[in-house]
Amino acid sequence: MEVVLLPTPENCGRVVADALQAALARARDRGTPPVLGLATGSSPLLAYRELVRRHTEEELSFADVTAVLLDEYVGLPVGHPESYREVIRRELTDAVGIDPAQVHGPDGAGPDPLAAGPAYEELLRAAGPVAVQLLGIGTNGHVGFNEPGSSLASRTRVKTLTEQTRADNARFFGGDVDAVPRHVITQGLGTILGAQHLVLVATGEGKAAPVAAAVEGPVTASVPGSVLQLHPRVTVVVDEAAGSRLALADHHRYVLEHKLADQGW
């Protein structure tokens, strides 16, 4: 696992954009259209802004990209501004020219959410390997919407949110916790492990404890983010605040300083 500690959230956004861009290039080098695993929440937004900038100012192309989302709320109607499909369209995919038909997420608006998980697994299998999966982390250590207690081998399925996560996400619903759906469909932890590269981004002091638990604590369903320790290629990008509880922070800074010139992300 590579842990990259950087001074500011803006630095983090640029490095995450670098990692995503590198994964696109690797997929193209292999002759496969890139599949980009996207996350919502506030953590990835600076990276998305940077990718949009590179698209508009530096001609970074997304024309051949398929985008797959990590998770979705159950019960928000299609087009609801806080449905993750809508959020990702607004924050990234429209602006970088990804065909809406090539943007996929679990179907949380349909009549049968229980069938949506297996259907999404099927779609992911058909789309081909995810070149890079971007992740945030919740204050309770969740990734995607895999709340504490989620099986480390889980696949896409319906989950019930903790009250903590609903309270954390109320800010996207005008501060009204009752407006935050109780149920979600999320890629499972086992599904996430299937991506070729995992990039987790976290900023701010509120993420210091979950980051330390996920990166340095025991691998446990009680901290779903700790599943990252089972993946062979993980990049954790944090600002100094989010990395402030890492016991090995000095070592990570040392490694970054001495990174080989062509090592990349």
Residues near ligand GLP, by CB under 6 A: 39-43, 70-71, 136-138, 144-145, 165, 169
For residues 117 and 156, the answer to whether their CB atoms sit within 8 Å is yes
199 token code pair: 């990039």
Radius of gyration of the chain (CA): 17
Residue whose CB is less far from ligand GLP, 156 or 165: 165
Q: Side chain identity at 35, as an amino acid letter? A: V
For residues 128 and 32, the answer to whether their CB atoms sit within 8 Å is yes
Minimum distance of ligand GLP from residue 98's CB (angstroms): 19
Minimum distance of ligand GLP from residue 120's CB (angstroms): 15
Residue whose CB is less far from ligand GLP, 60 or 221: 221
Minimum distance of ligand GLP from residue 169's CB (angstroms): 5
Minimum distance of ligand GLP from residue 263's CB (angstroms): 27
Minimum distance of ligand GLP from residue 89's CB (angstroms): 16
- Shortest CA distance to 197 belongs to which of 234, 237, 226, 144? 234
The closest residue (CB) to ligand GLP is 136
Residue whose CB is less far from ligand GLP, 42 or 56: 42
Minimum distance of ligand GLP from residue 185's CB (angstroms): 11
Q: Side chain identity at 222, as an amino acid letter? A: S
Residue whose CB is less far from ligand GLP, 136 or 181: 136
**Cβ atoms < 10 Å from Cβ of 191:** 24
Q: Side chain identity at 5, as an amino acid letter? A: L
As to burial, measured by CB atoms within 10 angstroms (0-12 exposed, 13-18 middle, 19+ buried), residue 30 is exposed
Residue whose CB is less far from ligand GLP, 34 or 105: 105
Minimum distance of ligand GLP from residue 43's CB (angstroms): 3
Residues found in the chain: 265
Strands (E) located in the chain = 2-6, 35-38, 66-69, 71-73, 103-104, 132-135, 157-160, 183-186, 198-202, 234-239
Residue whose CB is less far from ligand GLP, 176 or 250: 176
| Strand pairing class (183-186; 71-73) | antiparallel
Residue whose CB is less far from ligand GLP, 26 or 183: 183
Question: How far is Cα 237 from Cα 116, in angstroms, rounded to an integer?
Answer: 31
